[in-house]
Amino acid sequence: MNTSESLTRRTMSTQPDFAQQRGRMITDQLQRRNITDPSVLAAMGHIPREQFVTRRYRRHAYSDSPLPIPEGQTISQPYIVAYMIESLHLEPQHRVLEVGTGSGYAAAILSQIVSHVYTIEWYPQLVQLAQKHFTLCGLTNITIKQGDGTLGWPEEAPFDAILVSAGGPKVPRPLLEQLVVGGRLVIPVGQEPGRQELLSVIRRDDTRFQHLNLGAVAFVPLRGVQGWGDEA
């Protein structure tokens, strides 16, 4: 055996088979818990989650849990990403806003389902990191910016759907105002940072919004003027 062959063998035996793990994530974590939307399952089967976690946690990329990312933040549990996105009832022509880009994983999943994703992240370091992940994966229909996502993105509004990936004390008014009629917003809301109810809000007309409670969740705090402020 020559050197390159032995190297290849060593790499192959120590590298986890991510494609296989991704397949198991779909069946064991998502379908078993009743995620059925084919576009969500296909997107989660396509995006390499291992590219969105830090090197240290790469082996755990497909574990059934959130994982740490820089700035004390987390990449959400795969099931929660799927559940939130499924509840948005997305269609291919939709334009979607995400608040709380983090690693960029949820935005990457969204980018496979809809025409364009706008995503806002508080920490400049995470904006850079997520942008790197989008480039590595060849994703071109995502626009990212640094800022306070509780104010939405007025220049690009209205949105067909809005996904908030961090938990705030209330539903930010600017986000409701930036939804189309018939559009949906999903957001974790709770009076303690770190424990929330997942709310789905549907805009019925100019002034009426219907709220649904999708269950208890635990997200990192939503910062910003309509969140827990700057120091959360």
Residues that bind ligand SAH (CB under 6 A): 73-76, 99-100, 102-103, 105-106, 120-123, 126, 148-150, 165-166, 220, 222-224, 227
Rounded CA gap, 178 and 171, in Å? 12
Q: In this chain, which residue has its C-beta nearest to ligand SAH?
A: 102
Rounded CA gap, 197 and 26, in Å? 25
* Minimum gap (Å) between residue 115 Cβ and ligand SAH: 19
Which pair of structure tokens corresponds to residue 47?
């995006």
* Residue 13 annotated as catalytic: no
Closest to ligand SAH by CB, 84 vs 201, is 84
Kind of pairing between the strands at 67-69 and 73-75 = antiparallel
How many other C-beta atoms can be found within 10 angstroms of the C-beta atom of residue 45? 14
Cβ(161)–Cβ(85) under 8 Å?
no
* Minimum gap (Å) between residue 119 Cβ and ligand SAH: 8
Q: Is 40 helix (H, G, I), strand (E, B) or coil?
A: helix
Quote the DSSP letter at residue 56: G
**Cα Rg of the chain (Å, integer):** 18
Closest to ligand SAH by CB, 129 vs 201, is 129
Pick from 159, 111, 155: nearest CA to 135: 111
* Minimum gap (Å) between residue 149 Cβ and ligand SAH: 3
| Catalytic annotation, pick one of 76, 87, 111, 165 | 76
* Minimum gap (Å) between residue 122 Cβ and ligand SAH: 4
Closest to ligand SAH by CB, 2 vs 141, is 141
Closest to ligand SAH by CB, 100 vs 190, is 100
Q: Which residues are catalytic?
A: 76
